[in-house]
Structure 1
Amino acid sequence: MATKLLTPDYIFESSWEVCNKVGGIYTVLSTRAKTLQNLLKDKIIFIGPDVFINDNPYFIEDNKLFSEWHEQANKEGLVIKIGRWNIPGLPIAILVNFNQYYKDKNNIYTWTWEHFQVDSLHAYGDYDEASMFSYAAAKVVESFYNFYLDDSQRVIYHANEWMTGLGLLYLSYKIPQIATIFTTHATSIGRSIAGNNKPLYDYLFAYNGDQMANELNMQSKHSIEKQTAKYTDCFTTVSEITANECKELLDKPVDVILPNGFENDFVPKGAEFTRKRNIARKHVLNIANALLGTDLDDDTLIVSTSGRYEFRNKGVDVYIEAMNRLLRDNRLNKKILAFIEVPGWVGEPREDLKERIKSQKKYNEPLPVPMITHWLQNMSQDNVLGMLKFLDMQNRYEDKVKLIFLPCYLNGNDGIFNMKYYDLVLGNDLCVYPSYYEPWGYTPLEAIAFKVPCITSDLAGFGLWANAEFGRYGEITDGVKVIHRTDYNYSEVADKIKDTIVEFSNMSDSEIKKARNNAEKLSKKALWSNFIKYYYQAYDFALRRAEARKH
């Protein structure tokens, strides 16, 4: 008979992205919160940094929560705000100010070296900020535990990324009855190897993580990550591909893989979906026509890539190359309007474009520099613009593929599109995410939730998961085309993307409808209701390790 899983009475989960929207980890935590809140009813407490100068839009303060402890915490010198994270489920969140710990920085680092051999000597940039936050978060849990809890309760501290490692180590020493979980969403050293144009995968078995950290000036981040992985009760990551990286670069196999789920409550339903899709398409085509001086109609295939501006890691380079090759492919059956939606060093929205959009006239001359919607601070050094120039991709009138760089966060007030990312992406026909380094990959998952078929790679955790679900490599007719990618097959990947877009441009309406439905069907398999079970396994694993310490 299977033994019953141990479940926690309390979970404290810390991350730099609690109530602080920076990247993909915000999505992981904020979409999973509701499922855990339903399970633990206010016994799941998120801890994030208090970094907003004005009001934090993601946080609702509530002075009635834990008011007695709050008073005690103030006496102990903790500077905190208690309230709720403004997301579905409204879980409790504690935001901590960590500035007062900078003066003790050297003592904290010395203590961490003496007890856990963490090398903070080479710290620079965000290492200090992350470590002080991490230490402060641990002090919050220590204070709360001593005020309300004891070892009759099963308590978990879940730390996300190297930035929260120091706090986990502190707690594991000070309150060993707390079970600890450490999740690396991407190893700092693996991301750095990939981002520095070194071959990551073929040589993974031969790389020494410590040696590479020295070479790439990453010693401190690598050290905290490696030691936290070593000393935590349960070490986890988000995909097989990153698990492999952890084993080789951190010298520690992971205990449980926690794939990233999501909630699809942001996807409109039925007639509302169709209405929003039509609005998005019309809007995008209007802006493109104003910029390009063209008359692209609804028959145009709208394609995009998006994500962080990691030119090689996210496959932006190979996406541009694929579009360049598509220009000369005679089998292409439709006009293509392709976007690169990655936030660059944006200056301001183009006034000349704004005027054209406002006038609602038709133009048959493009604006100057018709491949960008907002001016950049670094026009001459930008990677995207540099590659377009090198390939002589000028969005000429006769080009059947037009490629436009949209270099800002799509938050609804960028000055040109003024639509949120989700409202824009559902107007797409295809999304392309040919990542070279992608531990999981939320962008393709979000795309298919909006019934937008996508192209991804088997170097993304999501791509591997999709292949596992299909039992073979995904094709565009399945809703997700998964391209085999290695350190060296860049040219082949560009051709595969090009060929897939050609194939899609030649599909009938009924075939496209089927691909869109298949995409949506696959997205439902990645809902948290299906993936939360892996967290329960991790909680059980960590709690058993902590129980064993008591005896």
Structure 2
Amino acid sequence: MELTPEEQVQKLSGAFLIESAWEVCNQVGGIYTVIRSKVPVMTRQWQDNYCLLGPLMNPNISAEFDPITDLNGPLGQAVSRMRDLGYEVRYGTWLVTGRPYTVLLDIKSAMNDVAGIRQQLLADYGIHINGQEELQNQVVAFADLSTKFVKILSEELQKENQQLITQFHEWMAALPILTFRKEKLPIKTVFTTHATALGRYLAMNDEDFYNNLPDYDWKSAATHFNILGIAEIERFVAQACDVLTTVSEVTARECQYFFTRIPDVITPNGLNIKRFVAYHEVQNLHGKYKDIIHQFVMGHFFNSHPFDLDKTLYFFTSGRYEFKNKGFDITLEALQILNSMLKESGMDVTVVMFFITKRPTWSINPEVLQSRGVMEEIRKTCDTIQQQLGERLFYDAAGSKNEYRLPDLNKFVDDFLRLKYRRILQSWKSDKWPIVVTHNLVDDINDEILQYIRRTELVNSPKDKVKVVYHPDFIDSTSPLFGIDYGEFVRGCHLGIFPSYYEPWGYTPLESIARGVPTITSDFSGFGDYISANVEKHEDSGVYVLKRYRRKPRVAAKDLAMMMFKFLKLTRRNRMVQRNKAEDLSEHFDWSGLVRYYNQAYVQSLESKRS
């Protein structure tokens, strides 16, 4: 019988939990968001019996880490013993909400032993680590240090009769599981895979990946993509751990075929929703940041051809640059279809679609900067004219003699300002169409987004109802083009578009609704799959799930275009209602509710009889 959340907490009372991940204090991927956002709930439940473990990789760690000098207690004693062995160990609290105890191991102190450890892994477990790959060598070093540390901590906890539960996120952290199992240590193990390495590679290269899942030979495929060692780690630790978890039913299918083990628990990803929700401020914040996006759009487009901003909607997509896996391919095709639909329908609306991702660039395009700079100069000139005109009109009105007609306002503006105004407008206006990409790419010719745009001529023509802005750098407040951070940019948009082909979970659509912005996801993403299975009438709350399973990309693109078109036909009031409902729905994904799935995994690990 399934335990209630209260019964789970009671079962876990007195146990100690170590949560190990490459992303602890190290922002290199989505798991960083999982770990960091979950911390407040974890520290509230576990209090002093919880610690994060990771490699010392962040060069700016001092800015977000507060050292602890008191080495009393099992955790402090384990740190002290590791230091006595000659290893550099940072022990303190991570300066995030919840202030969790954190141990960071300096992998440099084990790098000299990596060659021998690789040989031992091959001899003991048949794992073929690629010694030419820096990351794999670093993972091996971290595994050696974290294995030693957890074993020492286990010895200290046994003095207090405390059980030790360890959770390892992804293959980069999980190798210690094999040692604990081999040596039959009293350490309970949970392995969480957020995505399979093999699945990510195969999805990028096989249009029919999900249908072909049962037919892949995992070892041959891993060898083909030169990730055999990584695939072996994933497979062997998944088979050795007490409890296997993954973030969605989508990834569970991969585990079944690549690991020959069905996950014991599905642990959906959540957020600390309190950091996002704005309640009655949702509409005000949308308006505030939409106005800032307006400024960019005016600077980027209006020197060529203006359009009505009151009838313009902002769509966006963002994330790691994986052209097919992230659904950039069908998004572009859907935009092309949508452009034709809007022209044929005669709808008086414009769509500006932003692609926000990270690509190698060498500068912001000078044309983009110049156009924005000149527009700012126009603004300053208009402000000066407005001030001068206002003052002179007031004096004229106050001193008028029974004349109640509005005077010729041109007379109130100096010739110098009239000339400046005229010249600056002449210098700004251009016959050139606005460029699609905001930065100069290192490899412009082979960029797949630009290749598609050039091939289909979705190039910001005055006749196009769909405009495209490709911003190949993540947005933050230091950007000269926007001057706001990514979260504020999202709030200013109307619709997020994330029709991923391979997305084990998908934080971007969840973060979108948490900010009150409706979103399109897909049933190939863990988030979309969860929404479809657990939330009735989700479209009323601004979450649209594109069906991609067993559907060709071209069909999915047409469906996506229709979803966008239907959204454009909503009234302003309907969109306002959806923004409020989207934010309300996001509270379903607060960690305070979802942590029960993690607790279920921990309870099962304590009850596990695997030997």
Scaled by the length of structure 1, the TM-score of the pair is: 0.93
Select which of 546, 550, 553 maps to 1:490.
Answer: 553
For the pair 1:16 / 2:25, whether they are aligned, the reply is: no
Distance 1:310 1:172 in 2: 36
Residue-by-residue CA offset, 1:390-436 (whole Å, 9 max, x unaligned): 11121112211101111112232233223211111011111110000
More displaced 10-residue stretch of structure 1: 423-432 or 386-395? 386-395
In 2 relative to 1, CA 354–236 (structure 1 residues): closer, same or farther, beyond 3 Å?
A: same
For the pair 1:295 / 2:306, whether they are aligned, the reply is: yes
Distance 1:524 1:265 in 2: 9
More displaced 10-residue stretch of structure 1: 310-319 or 79-88? 79-88
Q: What's the counterpart of residue 416 of structure 2?
A: none
More displaced 10-residue stretch of structure 1: 304-313 or 492-501? 492-501
For the pair 1:152 / 2:165, whether they are aligned, the reply is: no
**SS of equivalent to 1:41:** helix
Q: What's the counterpart of residue 498 of structure 2?
A: 433
> Aligned partner of 1:542: which letter?
S
**SS of equivalent to 1:183:** strand
Q: What's the counterpart of residue 414 of structure 1?
A: 479
> Aligned partner of 2:257: which letter?
E
**SS of equivalent to 2:311:** coil
Select which of 160, 164, 172 maps to 1:163.
Answer: 172
Tell me how far 1:544 sits from its aligned partner: 1.2
Select which of 501, 521, 535 maps to 2:598.
Answer: 535
Q: What's the counterpart of residue 79 of structure 1?
A: 88
Tell me how far 1:69 sits from its aligned partner: 4.6
Distance 1:478 1:154 in 2: 43
Tell me how far 1:369 sits from its aligned partner: 6.2
Select which of 583, 586, 591 maps to 1:523.
Answer: 586
In 2 relative to 1, CA 158–93 (structure 1 residues): closer, same or farther, beyond 3 Å?
A: same
For the pair 1:39 / 2:39, whether they are aligned, the reply is: no
Distance 1:369 1:151 in 2: 68
For the pair 1:324 / 2:336, whether they are aligned, the reply is: yes
Q: What's the counterpart of residue 458 of structure 1?
A: 523
Distance 2:62 2:361 in 1: 23
Q: What's the counterpart of residue 305 of structure 1?
A: 317
Distance 2:115 2:247 in 1: 33
Tell me how far 1:471 sits from its aligned partner: 4.5
**SS of equivalent to 1:205:** helix
Which of structures 1 and 2 has the bigger CA Rg?
2
The 5-angstrom pairing of residues 173-252 of structure 1 reads: 173-174=182-183, 176-252=185-261
CA contact (8 A) 2:509 2:519 kept: yes
Q: What's the counterpart of residue 355 of structure 2?
A: 340
Distance 1:212 1:409 in 2: 33
CA contact (8 A) 1:282 1:298 kept: no
In 2 relative to 1, CA 287–509 (structure 1 residues): closer, same or farther, beyond 3 Å?
A: closer
In 2 relative to 1, CA 71–540 (structure 1 residues): closer, same or farther, beyond 3 Å?
A: closer
Distance 1:184 1:291 in 2: 42
Residue-by-residue CA offset, 1:83-111 (whole Å, 9 max, x unaligned): 22222111111111112222222322233
Tell me how far 1:121 sits from its aligned partner: 5.4
CA contact (8 A) 2:265 2:600 kept: yes
Distance 1:291 1:366 in 2: 13
Q: What's the counterpart of residue 110 of structure 1?
A: 119
Tell me how far 1:182 sits from its aligned partner: 0.3
CA contact (8 A) 2:250 2:504 kept: yes
More displaced 10-residue stretch of structure 1: 208-217 or 264-273? 264-273
CA contact (8 A) 1:118 1:220 kept: yes
Tell me how far 1:207 sits from its aligned partner: 1.2
In 2 relative to 1, CA 367–225 (structure 1 residues): closer, same or farther, beyond 3 Å?
A: farther
Residue-by-residue CA offset, 1:438-467 (whole Å, 9 max, x unaligned): 111111111111121111111011111111
More displaced 10-residue stretch of structure 1: 48-57 or 383-392? 48-57
**SS of equivalent to 2:19:** strand
Scaled by the length of structure 2, the TM-score of the pair is: 0.84
Tell me how far 1:485 sits from its aligned partner: 0.4
Residue-by-residue CA offset, 1:219-264 (whole Å, 9 max, x unaligned): 1000000000010010110000100110011211111110111111
CA contact (8 A) 1:134 1:165 kept: yes
Distance 1:394 1:7 in 2: 58
For the pair 1:92 / 2:101, whether they are aligned, the reply is: yes
CA contact (8 A) 1:20 1:58 kept: no
Residue-by-residue CA offset, 1:321-340 (whole Å, 9 max, x unaligned): 11111111123451101100
For the pair 1:353 / 2:368, whether they are aligned, the reply is: yes
Distance 2:445 2:544 in 1: 34
More displaced 10-residue stretch of structure 1: 228-237 or 507-516? 507-516
Q: What's the counterpart of residue 124 of structure 1?
A: 133
User: Aligned residues, how many?
Assistant: 546
Tell me how far 1:312 sits from its aligned partner: 0.4
Select which of 35, 59, 64 maps to 2:65.
Answer: 59
For the pair 1:389 / 2:454, whether they are aligned, the reply is: yes
Distance 1:57 1:23 in 2: 19
CA contact (8 A) 1:123 1:220 kept: no
**SS of equivalent to 2:211:** coil
More displaced 10-residue stretch of structure 1: 279-288 or 184-193? 279-288
More displaced 10-residue stretch of structure 1: 484-493 or 232-241? 484-493
Distance 1:415 1:251 in 2: 50
CA contact (8 A) 2:433 2:461 kept: no
Q: Percent identity at matched positions?
A: 29
Q: Give unpaired runs (5+ residues) of structure 1.
A: none
Distance 2:2 2:367 in 1: 67
Distance 2:60 2:38 in 1: 27
Tell me how far 1:218 sits from its aligned partner: 1.5
Whichever structure has more helix as a proportion of its residues is: 2
More displaced 10-residue stretch of structure 1: 432-441 or 362-371? 362-371
Tell me how far 1:79 sits from its aligned partner: 1.1
CA contact (8 A) 1:60 1:84 kept: yes
Tell me how far 1:58 sits from its aligned partner: 3.6
In 2 relative to 1, CA 335–82 (structure 1 residues): closer, same or farther, beyond 3 Å?
A: same
Provide the alpha-carbon RMSD of the alignment. 2.3
In 2 relative to 1, CA 381–544 (structure 1 residues): closer, same or farther, beyond 3 Å?
A: same
Distance 1:397 1:509 in 2: 25
> Aligned partner of 1:170: which letter?
T
In 2 relative to 1, CA 157–482 (structure 1 residues): closer, same or farther, beyond 3 Å?
A: same
CA contact (8 A) 1:122 1:219 kept: no
CA contact (8 A) 1:449 1:523 kept: yes
Tell me how far 1:366 sits from its aligned partner: 7.0
Tell me how far 1:154 sits from its aligned partner: 1.7
CA contact (8 A) 1:318 1:490 kept: yes
Tell me how far 1:7 sits from its aligned partner: 0.9
The 5-angstrom pairing of residues 464-503 of structure 1 reads: 464-471=529-536, 474-475=538-539, 477-486=540-549, 489-503=552-566
CA contact (8 A) 1:208 1:248 kept: no
